[in-house]
Amino acid sequence: MNAVLNPADLASLPAPAPIQQLHHYAYKARDAEETRHFYEDILGLPLYHIIQSDYVPSTGEYCPYTHFFFRLQDGSFIAFFDLGDDVKPLPSPNTPLWVNHISFRVNTVQDLENTKTRLQAHGIEVLGVTDHHIFKSIYFFDPNGIRLELTAQLADAAQMHKDSTVAHQRLSDWTARKEQWRKERAAGNAAHALKPPTNDRPEFAPGKA
pLDDT digits (tens, 9 = 90+) for 112-166: 999 999 999 999 999 999 999 999 999 999 999 999 999 999 999 999 999 999 9
Residue 44 backbone dihedrals phi, psi, to 5 degrees: 85, 20
pLDDT of residue 153: 95
What's the gap between Cα 192 and its chain centre?
A: 26
Stated pTM of the model: 0.88
Which residues in 161-173 are b (16+ Cβ under 10 Å) and which e? Answer: eeeeeeeeeeeee
Stretches where the chain sits below pLDDT 70 are 1, 208-209
First CA to last CA distance, the chain: 49
What ranges do the domains of the chain cover? 21-89, 96-162
CATH class of 21-89: alpha beta
pLDDT of residue 209: 54
CATH of domain 96-162: 3.10.180.10
Give percent above pLDDT 90 in the chain.
82
Is 96-162 in the same CATH topology as 21-89?
yes
